[in-house]
Amino acid sequence: MVRLFHTLSPAISRLNFIYPRIFLTASPSIKLQRNHVHNKLKPKISPSSSSNFQRTRAYSTTTRVSSLTKRESWKLDDDGLVVLGIETSCDDTAAAVVRGNGEILSQVISSQAELLAQYGGVAPKQAEEAHSRVIDKVVQDALDRANLTEKDLSAVAVTIGPGLGLCLRVGVQKARRVAGAFNLPIVGVHHMEAHALVARLVEQELSFPFMALLISGGHNIIVLAHELGQCTQLGTTVDDAIGEAFDKTAKWLGLDLRRSGGPAVEELALEGDSKSVMFNVPMKNHKDCNFSYAGLKTQVRLAIEAREIDAKCPVSSATKEDRRNRADIAASFQRVAVLHLEEKCERAIDWALKLEPSIKHMVVSGGVASNQYVRSRLNNIVENKNLKLVCPPPSLCTDNGVMVAWTGLEHFRVGRFDPPPPAIEPDDYVVRS
């Protein structure tokens, strides 16, 4: 199945969720030759499935999907599958246990709030150390709260990218230790795919093809998801993501960053007049579905400087007038940042419906999708186009272990996973990033 889109727009490019950063296996020889299948899996997987243990960095979905056709008829006992998901791609250490039927058995998150506030953003080395300090406890808590032990698991899923290499490594090493010690298959998960697919846990009706706008601190993409692991990217940011713009706005406005910048800006914006500061909507003259937030960030910085707002003075200690100024900037920034999303989404929906007229849903996920203003504005756009918006609850929009466990389950079900790693890693073992 080859799709060519260049006649529609050069901006549309084919995107498979690529696994670029971290390899789950020690070396290619180990990857291909080890074939320990967990006993629990034996009745469910035919011998021919072993070729699927050979997970590739960027799996060629065309061949893989066709080779899976037979397997689609497997009757997996979904309730019987239980997957542990581990997420450490940025500043949250998260783990969760999810059942094949979508039941969330546990969800644990340890955030690095104090570090965020101290460094005014994520500092990779400090973040890595913080992950290393808590990863064992977070995973143990997730198992305890689910009332399970490792022996009850069907597989371990772990985020392998994109993200901060140092941080991803902590999660991958933990996943390998658990999977190796208990002879469990391991599923490498793409962080952005997980943000999109968790919507299928919350909305049973959500089937392929669907659209997804994924908005986080580092990514701002709009995709048309054709099937598991295969999508067309309709637009991406040419510079910064919207979450980065929220975070910098919060920092420059002297807001409390302990919950990350977005929620702080959203809260202050409620007090402000969203039309009081005239920011320009980015990329007005670009007839594509790409995004840009660097220019808006600069506009915000200049507005803050013009009003002589001192970020070192926390908003909680600001005078009434100063606070009002900050709230006006927060509200005006939020309105324009979201207007940019609205305009690009509208265009992307039109394009996507030409490619796949059967689309019924648009997913909006990633940390910024937990913003209530974002949700309600995008809901209007999506409904006007006769689609249904699927927005996971805020706790599943920001980084979490459930989305990793669920995406792991989706792939595991169709035979996409790696065999258990060795209980004791070989000397040549390195997790490359």
Contacts with Zn ion by CB under 5 A lie at 216, 399
| Residue 371 is a binding residue for ligand KG4 (CB under 6 A) | yes
Among 185, 243, 254, 419, binds ligand KG4 (CB under 6 A): 243
What is the rounded distance in angstroms from the CA atom of residue 420 to the CA atom of residue 50? Answer: 13
| Residue 90 is a binding residue for ligand KG4 (CB under 6 A) | yes
- By C-beta, is 272 or 366 nearer to ligand KG4? 366
What is the rounded distance in angstroms from the CA atom of residue 156 to the CA atom of residue 97? Answer: 9
Q: Which does 243 bind (CB under 5 to 8 A by kind): ligand KG4, Zn ion, none?
A: ligand KG4
**Which residue do the tokens 């409390």 mark?**
256
Among 209, 229, 235, 367, binds ligand KG4 (CB under 6 A): 367
**Which residue do the tokens 């150390």 mark?**
129
- By C-beta, is 49 or 370 nearer to ligand KG4? 370
- By C-beta, is 249 or 325 nearer to ligand KG4? 249
Q: Which does 368 bind (CB under 5 to 8 A by kind): ligand KG4, Zn ion, none?
A: ligand KG4
Nearest to 112 by CA among 255, 219, 259: 259
| Residue 262 is a binding residue for ligand KG4 (CB under 6 A) | yes
Q: Cβ 214 to ligand KG4, closest distance in Å? A: 8
* Inter-axis angle of helices 320-355 and 294-306, nearest 10: 170
Three-class secondary structure of residue 245 per DSSP: helix
What is the rounded distance in angstroms from the CA atom of residue 374 to the CA atom of residue 82? Answer: 33
What is the rounded distance in angstroms from the CA atom of residue 341 to the CA atom of residue 368? Answer: 11
Q: How do strand 186-190 and strand 210-215 relate by DSSP bridges?
A: unpaired
| Residue 108 is a binding residue for ligand KG4 (CB under 6 A) | no
Estimate to the nearest angstrom the gap between the alpha carbon of 253 and the chain centroid.
Answer: 27
What is the rounded distance in angstroms from the CA atom of residue 31 to the CA atom of residue 108? Answer: 31
Among 87, 128, 247, 418, binds ligand KG4 (CB under 6 A): 247
What is the distance in angstroms between the CA of the first residue and the CA of the last residue of the chain? 31
Q: Which does 370 bind (CB under 5 to 8 A by kind): Zn ion, ligand KG4, none?
A: ligand KG4
Bridge partners of 95, per DSSP, are 86, 108
Q: Cβ 256 to Zn ion, closest distance in Å? A: 21
Q: Cβ 75 to ligand KG4, closest distance in Å? A: 35
Q: Which does 398 bind (CB under 5 to 8 A by kind): Zn ion, ligand KG4, none?
A: ligand KG4
| Residue 85 is a binding residue for ligand KG4 (CB under 6 A) | no
Q: Which does 100 bind (CB under 5 to 8 A by kind): Zn ion, ligand KG4, none?
A: none
Per-residue binding letters, 376-405, with ligand KG4 (x by CB under 6 A): ----------------------xx------
Residue type, 429: Y
Q: How do strand 82-87 and strand 155-161 relate by DSSP bridges?
A: parallel
Residue type, 208: F
Q: Radius of gyration (Cα) for the chain, nearest Å?
A: 22
Among 106, 260, 290, 325, binds ligand KG4 (CB under 6 A): 260
| Residue 234 is a binding residue for ligand KG4 (CB under 6 A) | no
| Residue 87 is a binding residue for ligand KG4 (CB under 6 A) | no
Three-class secondary structure of residue 328 per DSSP: helix
- Residues of the shown chain interacting with ligand KG4 in the complex, contacts defined by CB under 6 A: 90, 216-218, 243, 246-247, 260-263, 266, 366-368, 370-371, 398-399
